[in-house]
Structure 1
Amino acid sequence: MTDPFHDLTGRTSLQGAKGLAAARIVAGLVQGLLLYLLYSAASPSDALSWPATQPPLFGGLLLACGFTPVMLLAGIGRLPLRFLALWAVVAAAVLALLGWHDVARQARDYGFHPPFLTFPALAFSAAALFIAHHLIVPAVAARRWIADFDDYFDTAWKAGVQLALSLGFTGAFWLLLHLGAALFKVIGLGFLEDLITEEWFAIPVTCLVFAVAVQLTDVRGGLIRGVRTVALMLLSWLLPVIAVLAAGFLIALPFTGFEGLWRTGSATALVLSTAAALIILINACYQDGREDNLPPVVLRLAARVAAVLLTPLVLIAIWGLSLRIGQHGLTPDRIIASACALIGVVYALGYGWAALSPFWRKTAWMKPLERTNVAAAVLSVLVVLSLFSPLLDPARLSVNDQTARLKRGAVSPADFDYAFLKFEAGVVGRDALLDLTRSPNAEIARRAKQTRAAESRYDVERAAVPPRKPTIEAWPAGTILPAGFDAPIPGDDPRYACGRSDGCVAVLRDLNGDGREEVLMATRFNIALFALDADGRWRHRGDYNIRPCPGLPGGDFRELLKSSDLAPVAAPWPDLNLGGRTARMTPQETCPTPPVR
């Protein structure tokens, strides 16, 4: 087996271990400095500065600066310097474009300050970079487009162990810093606690410590391989467990039916996660596939069984996904799940062939698995690049499918999810919602306009609730409620909670001395104030509550409202006028002493 870490790696040009250490430390410091500058530009305590004033550019730089240096840390000493520099430029450019697109497709009212990259973009970009890098390193070392599988195995699994140990080392470093800060604070010295909370210190030091950890793990390559061997051995013995569980699930499924699985609402994710666990554990068992490294018979049998189980699992996931798409159309999550299912199909076919091919032709144990892994890795990178770029943007595909379903009548205007277009589909969703406001269908246009005016999905859901007449008891008995107060109202009105089984109580009082009566309406838990507006409609103006106190009964607010001494009480402290805005004080109440029994 050729060692991709010592052939054509550029170690000589870096003058051995000291050169490697210096290069990694510089890479870590540069990454820390870049990330700190980006943080400073987007600091919520200050006005935004460039590049945070250009959200797509900021997102692209953040993704590139966050991941490219980590790839450089892994590539230093393993790739020729010229090739490493070229690969770093290509990787940074691709990451920047993915980050640019991820932020540019978001709606402009981001909900946070400043715009943030979405979690799927971060997670899948990191996974694609890891896979691509460890496809390239062995191929360059072997000077072939496709290297030997044992080189891929050695490179990727060693890097995985290094990554895990480096992250653990970085976390342990910060735990010790916080412990030291606590010790110094006990004796009245708070300088260390102040220092570690400063971003100019924390961000660069974190990146530097991670780079040092990568260097330390790289120097002790034999130790890393030993840790990897132990980890793979432990993981491989979990394969029979998950194989038995998955087989039992598939055997029981025809007798229990699929209804319970579909009712979970996450059947596809659950089944695909099981398939992913099988794939990882099969590879932990197979390792590099050499004849002198074969696992025990029981593990080889478990690997064959698990490989065959992949096919029914992936088919069930595709079936469940197709049912959901047929019923409710495409969403970004379902498109990503479809991409994962596509990769699962490749694994299922390849692993199934690897498990069953010895029955009709002579081949080494699970040997076809190797080609499957390489093909699936390449496909995974291509799928990620497609999904998180304009090519197969899940938001665009989902919006096109959902609006097409609405226009052809597959979903009624009342059941269509307008909130998805505004709050979850980004710019393309907002544009589609604007287009629906001009629809010739009056119901579609009305609901689209309501959704565009809404500030949250909750507002949309409340507005969609059909109006109903509340059940409100006027007090004292014989009092007549103002005209229209108990008329049918929409779901976003507090009176909507006044149902037949849990009615409300209303009392009329002139609370502010303007000669007009307001309505105090009590539910079981609070008292709401309603007053007439300029249009003659009753508007909810606020709520009255009582601070709960231990040892004192709370009571039903509907009964409390019937008190004979109900009267307005002047506030002990006035409101403040602050530049045209009114500030109202919330009193710091104290609980009375509970009665002695």
Structure 2
Amino acid sequence: NGTKENLSRALWGWLGLTFVVVLAMSGWLKWQVEAVEKWRLAELLWLYGLRLVLMAMLVLPWMQYQLHSQTGSARYPQFYLRLWHNVLTLFIVLVANGLFWLVLLLWSALFRLVGIRFFSTLFFETEAFIYVTIGLITALAVILARTQSRLVAAVQKLLTLIATGLLPVVSLLALLFIVTLPFTGLEAISARVSAAGLLSTLTLMLLLLVAIVNEPQKRVLPYPRVLRGMISASLCVAPIYMLLAGWALWVRIQQYGWTPDRLYGALTASVLLVWSFGYLIGLLRRGRDPGEWQGKVILSVSLLTLVILLLLASPVLDVWRISVNSHMARYHSGKITADQISLYMLDHSGKPGQEALKSLRDDEAFTQNRKRNRKLMTFLQRNKVSPTADDLARVVMIAPGSQKPDAAFWAFVKEQSYTDDSCLEPDACVLVSQDLNGDGQPEQVLYNFIVAESQVYGLKEGKWTQKAFARLPDGFSKTQLLHAIAGHQLDSAPKAWRDIIVDGKRLDVDYYNE
């Protein structure tokens, strides 16, 4: 009874700790994505979910060891077996869900052939059905994996045999490439954008295959002496690969600063460097059990990875903040010009990026260029609360001598234009009535000086439609427009290139650069 109470207390302790950690991570993510557009949230939530799955795979073996292992039993053999079992359970869950949803897809498609859309709506548009079905299939797959332990062990054995065949090939590749480098030079590595990623992938494959093949109960790798020597040699050069990857990554950081991808790459390279040096130390410790040392290395690497994943979901390793600060520091120090600022990167960097965009709005050196300012305002307006039709009617200036449009016009502008938000800025927009087709009915031309363009609207069968748009010249301002109107210098000109008429039918011709 005492043992059961202790296990129950430990289980609830682990669950409570997990709840607190996930709650804190979710709260931090929610705060970060408040400034992110809704259509991008799905991608961020998927990445967050994948991170949670990876963290679960790393922390579950530790929980299971504490809850189910006997006192004094070796930790690494239990960690190895439970990690294998958990990974294969996840694989079975994914396969089961994938096959089941393929059947439902076929089911709905067959009934759509005869005009019945009920099943398509039920399976793929009803959220309650989707959540319940995924949960049910996942639970059944987990039960299957837990009850059919021999089947899972057979799959593990099969994958271990495959890894046993791949390890010598990957080791040979690692040795051949390191021998080639002195003849090709390191400049080729630094010149490649993907160099660090390729070197890290090779090292990760090598280390993972060694961890899989070198099972805890085995004293030596199951190969002839020559192959064991080749694998040991490849493990000796693995740290060199990670040092080269780190160097290539650092060259890019010095050239272009930090980005989320480079930060992830640096953290991955750090973990692999620790892992590879751990294996190297194990090879140098002659006369001692290498399996025991490998267990310590892998357990340490798993904890290090778990800590890094936790820090990435906290303010400590906020990839958006680090990237934005690096980018803006390079701009303020003169390493990059205003034209080299990546507004796209800032817009995709959550709250830190939005704060940086707002700071650029007050930067005279940046906003003095009309084109740059137009792009900046486009990014800033995306994240503002959209104005109502009444707001536009109240704020937009009607040019002297122009007609005041009805409420339907403002409602149409609100629905059609993606730049109408900027009209709320002071002196941003002016509405001018001007007949542009000679039919005696003036069109409404909305000049937007923030985005440097004008939209032409006209009536067709009693309804407002958008007729055309035009780019405004650099530096063209509200003052210049009003001065032209006051001086009767606002006019229109017929186009030199004409449409084609064939047998009384008019062909609308769009001329290039005309």
Give the TM-score taking structure 2 as reference length. 0.69
1:75-474 correspondence to structure 2 within 5 Å:
80-106=7-33, 108-112=35-39, 117-142=44-69, 147-181=74-108, 192-197=119-124, 198-291=126-219, 294-297=221-224, 300-357=228-285, 361-365=286-290, 367-421=292-346, 423-439=347-363, 442-446=364-368, 449-455=373-379
Task: Give, in whole Å, the separation in 1 of the partners of 2:218 and 2:47.
Answer: 36
* Matching residue's letter, 1:204: V
SS in 1 for 2:39: coil
Q: Give CA deviations for 1:241-284 in whole Å, capped at 9, x if unaligned.
A: 11222222222222223444334312212211221111211112
Task: Give, in whole Å, the separation in 2 of the partners of 1:305 and 1:379.
Answer: 26
Task: Assess if the C-alpha contact under 8 Å between 2:357 and 2:380 holds in 1.
Answer: no
Task: Assess if the C-alpha contact under 8 Å between 2:500 and 2:506 holds in 1.
Answer: no
- Structure number with higher helix proportion: 2
Share of identical aligned residues, percent?
23
The equivalent residue for 1:544 is none
Q: Which sections of structure 1, spanning at least 5 residues, go unmatched? A: 1-7, 14-78, 458-508, 519-527, 540-557, 572-597
CA pair 456-285 structure 1, distance change in 2 beyond 3 A: farther
Q: Give CA deviations for 1:58-83 in whole Å, capped at 9, x if unaligned.
A: xxxxxxxxxxxxxxxxxxxxx94443
* Matching residue's letter, 2:354: R
Task: Give, in whole Å, the separation in 2 of the partners of 1:113 and 1:345.
Answer: 34
Query: What's the CA shift for 1:186?
Result: 6.9
Task: Give, in whole Å, the separation in 2 of the partners of 1:350 and 1:325.
Answer: 27
Task: Assess if the C-alpha contact under 8 Å between 1:102 and 1:117 holds in 2.
Answer: no
* Matching residue's letter, 1:412: T
Stretch deviating more after TM superposition (370-379 or 247-256): 247-256
CA pair 278-567 structure 1, distance change in 2 beyond 3 A: farther
Stretch deviating more after TM superposition (406-415 or 155-164): 406-415
Task: Give, in whole Å, the separation in 2 of the partners of 1:299 and 1:206.
Answer: 46
CA pair 159-9 structure 1, distance change in 2 beyond 3 A: farther
CA RMSD, aligned part only? 4.1
* Matching residue's letter, 1:156: L
Query: What's the CA shift for 1:161?
Result: 1.2
SS in 2 for 1:112: helix
How many residues align structurally? 412
Give the TM-score taking structure 1 as reference length. 0.60
Query: What's the CA shift for 1:347?
Result: 0.6
CA pair 146-379 structure 1, distance change in 2 beyond 3 A: farther
Task: Give, in whole Å, the separation in 1 of the partners of 2:168 and 2:72.
Answer: 35
CA pair 114-242 structure 1, distance change in 2 beyond 3 A: closer
Task: Give, in whole Å, the separation in 1 of the partners of 2:374 and 2:134.
Answer: 47
